[in-house]
Amino acid sequence: MSRKLRVFINGFGRIGRTLTRQILCGHGGARVEIAGINDIASFDTCAYLLRYDSVYGNFPFPIEAQSNGLLIRGRLIPVTHASDLRTLDLRDVDVVLDCTGKAGVRAFAEAGIAAGASKVLISGPSATADQTIVIGANDQDLRDARIVSNASCTTNAIAPLLRILDLGLGIERAHVTTVHCYTGSQPTVDQPNGPPERSRAAAVSMVPTTTSAADQITRVLPEFAGRLTVSALRVPCLSVSAVDAVVQLAEDPEEPFPDFLRAAFAGSSLVGLCEDPCVSSDYRGRPESLVIALPETRSIGCKQLRILGWYDNEWAFSARMLETAKLMASR
């Protein structure tokens, strides 16, 4: 594509605002233009929440709420409040980035197409999408799909790691625990919220819960069906999550496991390596899908490997969304 990719952000929550920040601040958003934003919140609220961010800090450029949008860096980004995208004219939009959390319903996901946009990328799991794509796992299989799911942040963290390990050494079986920071789906005080454990205050306890990652991983890497289990803990941290993987390998690496990992992911923009004894907050704003903590790598016997990896579940996931959108537009 010789011109800039034009995206429309539907839903201005955590992922919608992170995408906006990345595009406007040049973090992976080169040659991407925001055609518009749609959200139920007022212009002033959208401007305020983009200007002041509890995770990533203050926005580095002035933001001014106008009568019909947000003025940022000398450009007016139109903002609408449509409950149905079909009421808008999106004929100049290449990809709608649907960040509403509602696009699991096919009719909702198709609204952007009906409004004239070429394609829709959903910021989460969706059984109604034409394809589920994870960069580094199955992006080579992307067809000319009009509605694509970007899976989950955890799936994006785990799948590229498992794929490389399986190709290099073979994986007989694996169990992965995701240690995930709390999100807006959890209450800040105890209150009814679906499963009993998810009804507890998010910032007070570690909460065992379920994750869609096991289903999503076998969707993008079907060869792992029957070989993988995934469990989850929500923990009282504001940002950055971790995966703790125990893998039973089919073959022994010829070199020590840390050296194998260094060679396997050398130069990778998707899976990083950290040699230092860091903590979760050190990985805030990292764009990689996963950063392996080499000091925490353990081999148990000859063929069992434990890997701890960190991922910024908002920043890295948003970076993958932009990459997937560019890939979709090229098809």
Alpha-carbon distances, residue 248 vs 151, 157, 163, 169, 271 (angstroms): 25, 19, 14, 10, 20
What spatial distance separates the first Cα and last Cα of the chain, rounded to whole Å? 10
Which single residue is written with the structure tokens 């429309």? 8
Strand duo 69-72 + 5-10: pairing: unpaired
DSSP string for residues in 10-43:
E--SHHHHHHHHHHHHTSS-TTEEEEEEE-SS-H
Which single residue is written with the structure tokens 């958003």? 29
Nearest to 179 by CA among 149, 209, 159, 152: 209
Neighbours of 96 (CB within 10 A): 31
48's CB contacts (< 8 A; 6+ apart) are none
Handedness of CA 315, 73, 86, 84 (dihedral sign): positive
Which residues face 70 on adjacent strands?
Answer: 65, 77
Q: Which of 153, 181, 237, 274 is catalytic?
A: 153
Cα 185–188–191 angle (5° rounding)?
Answer: 80
Written as six digits, the tokens of 12 are 């201005």
Residue 153 known to be catalytic: yes
DSSP string for residues in 177-189:
EEEEE--TTS-SS
Which single residue is written with the structure tokens 């799991």? 125
Residues involved in catalysis: 153
